[in-house]
């Protein structure tokens, strides 16, 4: 067996059916490559494709299509969520906004929050996930907390949090934003989650890189009263995010989201079985392993089965040793690994993440190689 990919939380391959859609909107043969802002026939079909994609995303999110905005990545959408809400809050109230983020957020939220604190654009509280709710103050404009933690797989009860925050709301504030990039096995229904904003990324759900969606609730308040657009230009995305829309990526994203929602319940069961088998077999072969969790038991609903973080004691650079044996896993989140400053929660642990192309044979072979590498590095034999 060749290299085994166990890093689906970093990115996923594009689904073949999705890829066929993308081609249609990219090439001369496909004929659908137009700029959606152009008024001629090529532009009109691209515009129709864009709006059909928005309708599809809205159906899967269970929201109105006017509440869906496309961005180039979840990083961009998360930056926008924090910065654009803060700017509008300042404009609405004349005072400095307070933003609460959990300390386990992805760098795209955490580093944005820190940057806003340094530049004085907001007062920032970075707290344990279970402390988010009680950190709310009179001037809290936004809370941002991930649905499924990208390194540990911890699942948060965002619906319960949203309910509590609604009781504390003064007018529209505080708004609740959730980064649901890793939450696809649990669905993307914004009404069930009760959030005001939600981020989802295409390349984590078998869509192409270069597309993401930000949901902004428009049913309670006018979106223009919540958000101050940051990007000036051609006024695309109803003035929220200027720049020609990446139609082929967005169409691919919508197609991937439809497939993901249709298949996720079956996938959940299949991946759960694989992940339990993986953990049991690793534990059989190596005595000194610890499945890593971040959240307190009382706050967390469990672990998303597609993410497993394991601490192996007595080994350094284990991810690199595994890579040499053809196992692609990661030490923390992908972006934290190359960054000058790591924001990983999991120093010393390896994150294995499973996806729809992961097979039982791959899992068994991966376990065999992992145990072998561990034994070679530590000199410890099987227990």
Residue of 182, 292, 343, 344 interacting with ligand PLP (CB under 6 A):
182
Q: Interface with ligand PLP includes 241 (CB under 6 A)? A: no
User: Which one of 179, 196, 261, 319 is in contact with ligand PLP (CB under 6 A)?
Assistant: 179
Q: Minimum CB separation from ligand PLP for residue 162, in Å?
A: 18
In the chain the first and final C-alpha atoms are separated, in Å, by 26
CB 145 within 8 A of CB 132: yes
CA pair distance 150, 128, nearest whole angstrom:
15
Cα 286 → chain centroid: 31
Min separation Cβ 111 and ligand PLP, Å: 11
**What residues are annotated to the active site?**
335
Closer CB to ligand PLP, 122 or 211, in the complex: 211
CB atoms within 10 A of CB 372: 12
Each residue 119-148 as x (binds ligand PLP by CB under 6 A) or -, in order, gives: ---------------------------x--
Q: What is the DSSP letter of 4?
A: E
Whichever of 77 and 366 has its CB closer to ligand PLP, that residue is 77
- Comparing CB distances to ligand PLP, the nearer of 177 and 286 is 177
Stretch that binds ligand PLP, among 112-120, 235-243, 332-340, 364-372 (CB under 6 A): 332-340
* Two tokens, residue 339: 């960054």
**Counting contacts by CB under 6 A, is residue 113 touching ligand PLP?**
no
75 binds ligand PLP (CB under 6 A): yes
Q: Give the tokens for residue 90.
A: 């300042």
Output the six-digit token pair for 31: 């004929």
Residue 363 class from Cβ within 10 Å (0-12 exposed, 13-18 middle, 19+ buried)? buried
The reply on whether position 150 binds ligand PLP by CB under 6 A is yes
Tokens 């005072």 locate to: 95
| Cβ-Cβ contacts under 8 Å for 358 (sequence gap 6 or more) | 5, 6, 8, 271, 274
User: What residues have CB less than 8 Å from 281, skipping those under 6 apart?
Assistant: 363, 364, 367
Stretch that binds ligand PLP, among 70-78, 115-123, 265-273, 354-362 (CB under 6 A): 70-78
Q: Find the binder of ligand PLP among 212, 286, 315, 363 (CB under 6 A).
A: 212
Of the ranges 80-88, 177-185, 287-295, 337-345, which one interacts with ligand PLP (CB under 6 A)? 177-185
User: What is the footprint of ligand PLP within residues 290-309 (CB under 6 A)?
Assistant: none
In whole angstroms, what separates CA 101 from the centre of its chain? 15
Name the residues that contact ligand PLP, by CB under 6 A: 73-75, 106, 108, 146, 150, 179, 181-182, 201, 212, 333-335
């Amino acid at each position: 067996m060749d290299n085994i990919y166990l890093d689906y939380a970093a990115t996923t391959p594009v689904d073949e059916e999705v890829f066929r859609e993308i081609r249609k909107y990219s090439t001369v043969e496909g004929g659908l490559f137009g700029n959606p802002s152009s008024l001629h026939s090529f532009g009109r079909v691209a515009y129709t494709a864009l709006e059909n994609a928005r309708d599809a995303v809205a159906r899967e999110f269970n929201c109105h299509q006017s509440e869906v905005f496309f961005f180039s990545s979840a990083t961009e959408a998360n930056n926008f969520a924090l910065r654009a809400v803060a700017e509008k809050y300042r404009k609405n109230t004349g005072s400095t906004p307070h933003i609460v983020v959990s300390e386990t957020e992805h760098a795209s939220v955490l580093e944005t929050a820190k940057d806003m604190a340094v530049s004085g654009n907001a007062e920032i509280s970075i707290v344990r996930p279970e402390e988010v709710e009680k950190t709310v103050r009179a001037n809290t404009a936004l809370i941002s907390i991930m649905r499924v933690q990208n390194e540990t797989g911890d699942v948060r009860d965002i619906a319960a949090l949203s309910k509590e925050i609604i009781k504390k709301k003064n007018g529209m504030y505080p708004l609740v934003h959730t980064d649901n990039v890793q939450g696809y096995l649990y669905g993307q229904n914004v009404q069930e989650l009760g959030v005001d904003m939600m981020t989802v990324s295409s390349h984590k759900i078998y869509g192409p890189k270069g597309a993401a969606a930000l949901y902004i609730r428009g049913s309670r308040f006018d979106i223009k009263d919540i958000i101050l657009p940051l990007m000036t230009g051609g006024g695309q995305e109803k003035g929220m995010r200027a720049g020609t829309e990446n139609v082929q990526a967005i169409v691919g994203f919508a197609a991937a989201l439809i497939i993901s929602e249709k298949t996720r319940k079956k996938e959940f069961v299949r991946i759960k079985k694989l992940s339990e088998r993986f953990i049991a077999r690793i534990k059989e072969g190596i005595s000194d392993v610890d499945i890593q969790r971040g959240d307190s038991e009382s706050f967390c609903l469990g672990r998303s089965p597609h993410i497993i973080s394991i601490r192996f004691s007595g080994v350094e650079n284990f991810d690199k040793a595994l890579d040499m044996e053809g196992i692609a896993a990661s030490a923390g989140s992908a972006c934290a690994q190359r960054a000058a400053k790591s924001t990983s929660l999991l120093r010393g642990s390896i994150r294995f993440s499973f996806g729809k192309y992961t097979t039982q044979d791959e899992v068994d072979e991966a376990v065999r190689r992992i145990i072998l590498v561990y034994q070679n590095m530590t000199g410890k034999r099987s227990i």
